Amino acid sequence: GDSVTQMEGPVTLSEEAFLTINCTYTATGYPSLFWYVQYPGEGLQLLLKATKADDKGSNKGFEATYRKETTSFHLEKGSVQVSDSAVYFCALRPLIQGAQKLVFGQGTRLTINP
């Protein structure tokens, strides 16, 4: 079945460091791919998405590129801030008409120190 594997955390960085959180997936066909962010005590919020191969999603300085060849969707940010501390989830939505179920990775907790 469809699955998402994320880089294990927790990840701790200093402010202004470069961030990469790895995400790879297994799916039939070409799913849509997403990154969600969860701040403490809150629900998940969509950070960015990509719906086809080679698409680049971007938001708030974060980027991720849909790589079909490597079945990956790694999250990157050039210079992180303390406010980026959160749990990040990679997810896929299978390309099945009428179905909108998301499959999530296990989440990666990110802590940014000043």
Assess 83 for contact with another protein (CB under 8 A): no
44 binds another protein (CB under 8 A): yes
Between 73 and 114, CB nearer to another protein: 73
45 binds another protein (CB under 8 A): yes
Amino acid, res. 52: K
Which string of x and - marks every residue 2-41 that binds another protein (by CB under 8 A)? --x-x----------------------------------x
Applying CB under 8 A, what is the total number of residues that bind another protein? 18
Query: Nearest to residue 81, comparing CAs of 10, 15, 13, 11?
Result: 15
Is-contact 55 63, C-beta < 8 A?
no
CA distances from 113 to 1, 3, 17, 86, 110 (A): 38, 32, 10, 12, 10
Shortest approach of another protein to residue 41 CB, angstroms? 8
Cβ distance to another protein smaller for residue 42 or 69 = 42
Place of tokens 């790895």: 22
CA–CA separation, 105 vs 3, rounded Å?
7
Binding site for another protein (CB under 8 A): 4, 6, 41-46, 49, 89, 98, 100-102, 104-107
